[in-house]
């Protein structure tokens, strides 16, 4: 967690800007905040470390949240598999299969000699 007291106000604004705009470049942040890129380059490494640490915390927190909802998600899909609407049941079954076996890839080829299309569904990357 960021200890904001360690950073000057421009550094704090830069950290918040970069966290809010993950695709932004340093020059974009400098322009938006009214500071020079040179000023940012002269800041101590702890500024960039704070940004990296914050992104990592977001990833970890998101993963924890998703893991806490896995059982609930499986129960919803399980209930949908019992639906009288075959499309709903099939979509739920496919999703459960993809979660357990991985999403299959399709290899499509054309046999020019026999004018046939060849489709091979691969469930394991080691087959390709």
The token pair that represents 108 in the structure block: 């499509």
pLDDT (average), residues 5-14: 95
d(CA 30, CA 64): 34
117 forms beta bridges with 110
Residue 128 pLDDT exceeds 50 = no
Q: 54 with 62: CB under 8 angstroms?
A: no
Residue 102 pLDDT exceeds 90 = no
As a whole number of angstroms, the longest Cα–Cα distance in the chain is 73
Architecture of the CATH domain 4-68: Orthogonal Bundle (1.10)
Q: What is the residue extent of each domain of the chain?
A: 4-68, 70-127
Q: Which pLDDT score is estimated for 76?
A: 94
pLDDT (average), residues 1-16: 93
pLDDT (average), residues 13-42: 95
pLDDT averaged over the chain?
Answer: 87
Residue 71 pLDDT exceeds 70 = yes
Within 8 A by CB and 6+ apart from 39, the residues are 10, 30
pLDDT (average), residues 77-83: 93
Q: Which pLDDT score is estimated for 99?
A: 84
Half-sphere exposure of 3 (CA within 13 A, CB side): 3
Half-sphere exposure of 99 (CA within 13 A, CB side): 12
Residue 113 pLDDT exceeds 70 = no
């Amino acid at each position: 967690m960021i200890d904001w007291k360690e950073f000057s106000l421009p550094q704090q604004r830069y950290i918040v800007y970069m966290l809010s705009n993950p695709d932004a470049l340093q020059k974009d942040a400098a322009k938006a905040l009214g500071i020079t890129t040179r000023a940012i380059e002269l800041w101590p490494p702890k500024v960039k470390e704070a940004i990296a640490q914050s992104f990592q915390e977001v990833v970890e927190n998101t993963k924890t949240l998703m893991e806490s909802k896995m059982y609930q998600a499986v129960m919803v899909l399980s209930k949908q598999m019992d639906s009288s609407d075959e499309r709903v049941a099939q979509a739920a079954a496919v999703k459960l299969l993809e979660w357990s076996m991985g999403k299959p890839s399709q290899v499509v080829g054309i046999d020019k000699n026999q004018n046939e299309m060849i489709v091979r569904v691969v469930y394991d990357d080691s087959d390709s």
